[in-house]
Amino acid sequence: MAAPMQRCPKCGTDKPRTAAQFHKDPANRHGFKLTCRECTNAAARAAYAADPQKTLTRLRERRSTRAAMFATHPSYEAA
């Protein structure tokens, strides 16, 4: 089955809604982010360039939050 096309609101390009073009996002019903992989990566790079410390702090916090989650939920054991 062909993947439906999805227009990225940032670059306005129609791309197939696949993991190769869009990051996954369980928050969306179709399971992918609205902005394409390229634009998401560009935004992340820009944010890091603007304030590396903020990005590093956020990643560090996310890492420890996830580590705590994995530690308390046995069902999250590595597959």
Query: Applying CB under 5 A, which residues contact Zn ion?
Result: 8, 10-11, 36, 39
Q: Could you identify the residue written with the tokens 């096309």?
A: 5
Amino acid at 49: A
C-beta of 42: minimal distance to Zn ion in Å?
A: 8
C-beta of 79: minimal distance to Zn ion in Å?
A: 31
C-beta of 38: minimal distance to Zn ion in Å?
A: 5
Q: Which is nearer to Zn ion, 16 or 52 (CB)?
A: 16
Q: Which is nearer to Zn ion, 25 or 61 (CB)?
A: 25
Write out the two tokens for 32.
């992918």
Rounded to 10 degrees, the C-alpha dihedral 51/31/16/1 comes to 160
Contact by Cβ (8 Å): 6, 12: no
Q: Which is nearer to Zn ion, 23 or 63 (CB)?
A: 23
